[in-house]
Structure 1
Amino acid sequence: MTTAPLDAKYYEAAAPRSLGERLTAAARDRIYADFLRCCAPGPETTILDIGVSDVVNDAANVLERRYPYPHRLTAAGLGTAEAFRAAHPAVAYRQIGADCRLPFPDRSFGVATSNAVLEHVGSPANQRLMLAEMLRVARTVFLTVPHRFFPVEHHTAIPLLHYADASFGLACRSLGKAEWADPRNLILMSRRRLAALVPPAETARIGFTGLPLGPFSSNLYLHIAQGQA
């Protein structure tokens, strides 16, 4: 029996060939450019991409679609990823568990990256665990999250009401999207929330990426290069 990909619900607001998909793809192209700028990977750099999607479209898995050295990539996800592996045969794939230590030794990779995953892990404690594991297995970390203060909420397409938890919860329940108001499914991320997850010993750079709207840009990135001030 064929089942829907585990992460299909994350693309409900960006249907195939829709304006939402085109905007999501444009945002991820800018995220990819910022990844290259911050991390400067070379032909020999090993990269771990955590939380890849088994949805194959123009908005998903931009690193696997565009990176010129796919044999240096290892992708990790919750599912069995048949569609992902068929679309990206040169990329190694490893299935992982939710809220668990990553199945890789310390410093296995030059870079660990993740796009639009941290907001879905269920709690600040799980977010700290995910970031700590990325810092354990790689020398450099680059992750991105949707920005809470972008005018349109990414998962529900609700405008403006997501700026406050109470109004977002009311809107979600009114529109039959109550699951997105549950922090076990979605934690709306701001610069302050992202900064609070960084271990005290690390120096992180947090910036805007994705669709550029200054302080209301669509995404935030966090970059940590361990051993560098």
Structure 2
Amino acid sequence: MAEPIDKEYYEVIANRSIAEKLLVRARNKMHADFLRLVRPSAETTILDVGVSDVQVKGANWLESVYAYPAKISACGLGKGGAFKAAFPEINYTTIVPNERLPYPDSAFDVVTANAVLEHVGSVANQRAFVAELSRVGRLVFLTVPHRYFPIEHHTSIPFLHFFDRSFALACTIAGKERWLKPENLIMMSRAHLRSLAPANSTIGYTGIGLGPFSSNLFLYSQNA
């Protein structure tokens, strides 16, 4: 399911469009917040969970802009052919959805995941996913699309996604019913992300900065 979801997500972002420019701007800010909070060095080992095998501008932002890509390991649900071609210095592993990651405890200094948590299928799966990231990494930095950004990330529907009923109606009219299924999307608010996070986590706004209507949220936590 990873590749079809990625393709449908990125198909609403045309090459050289305003949407693409906004995506790049948002992901530059996420990278800046990553550097500010994590403070990685040239020796920091990183695991990026749930990378995309669809290669467009703005996708896989960490791999695209990070200063030490050889220190990154990546995993995803697909075979990773396009990812490995784009980033040959990065070790890629195929994983199984909602199963234990194939790494020992505290295997990495940092574990990241971008735009993955909202797609893992249920609230129970979301809690398990955050716990699994915390198991394999000493630090966790994950980002998700924010439900209360004025334009819904996956459908480009404006404002109606603030409420379940209006979003359901809009998706039905637009032929985008797949995004109403929790196995494909559970939209993320700050309160919901907080409910999934370890007690010592920092939750904040990132991406395109519009205060409580910013485009993305981040979760940062450090294992005790």
SS in 2 for 1:32: helix
SS in 2 for 1:148: coil
Aligned residues of 1:209 and 1:221 also touching (Cα < 8 A): yes
For the residues of structure 2 that align with 1:81 and 1:196, how far apart are their CA atoms?
32
User: Matches of residues 204-215 of structure 1 in structure 2 within 5 Å?
Assistant: 204-215=201-212
Q: What amino acid is aligned across from residue 175 of structure 1 in structure 2?
A: A
Q: What amino acid is aligned across from residue 219 of structure 1 in structure 2?
A: N
SS in 1 for 2:140: strand
For the residues of structure 1 that align with 2:191 and 2:3, how far apart are their CA atoms?
32
Answer 1 or 2: which has greater helix percent. 2
For residues 56-95 of structure 1, give each alpha carbon's deviation from its aligned partner in whole angstroms, at most 9, with x where no partner exists.
1111011111111111100110001111101101111011
Aligned residues of 1:48 and 1:113 also touching (Cα < 8 A): yes
Match of 2:73 in 1: 74
Q: What amino acid is aligned across from residue 222 of structure 2 in structure 1?
A: A
Match of 1:155 in 2: 154
For the residues of structure 1 that align with 2:157 and 2:182, how far apart are their CA atoms?
17
SS in 2 for 1:101: coil
Q: What amino acid is aligned across from residue 162 of structure 2 in structure 1?
A: Y
Find out whether 1:110 has 2:113 as its counterpart: no
For residues 129-178 of structure 1, give each alpha carbon's deviation from its aligned partner in whole angstroms, at most 9, with x where no partner exists.
11011000010000011001100100000000000011101100010001
Q: Find runs of 4+ consecutive structure 1 residues off by over 4 angstroms.
A: none
Match of 2:42 in 1: 43
Match of 1:16 in 2: 15
Match of 1:180 in 2: 179
Aligned residues of 2:197 and 2:219 also touching (Cα < 8 A): no
| TM-score between both structures, scaled by the size of structure 2 | 0.96
Identity of aligned residues (%): 55
Find out whether 1:65 has 2:50 as its counterpart: no
Find out whether 1:222 has 2:207 as its counterpart: no
Deviation at 1:5, TM superposition (A): 3.8
5+ residue gaps, structure 1, are none
Q: What amino acid is aligned across from residue 49 of structure 1 in structure 2?
A: D
Match of 1:87 in 2: 86
Deviation at 1:182, TM superposition (A): 1.4
Deviation at 1:17, TM superposition (A): 2.2
Aligned residues: 222
Aligned residues of 2:144 and 2:216 also touching (Cα < 8 A): yes
Higher mean alpha-carbon deviation, 16-25 vs 130-139, is at: 16-25
SS in 2 for 1:150: coil
Match of 1:131 in 2: 130
5+ residue gaps, structure 2, are none
Q: What amino acid is aligned across from residue 202 of structure 2 in structure 1?
A: R
Deviation at 1:184, TM superposition (A): 1.4
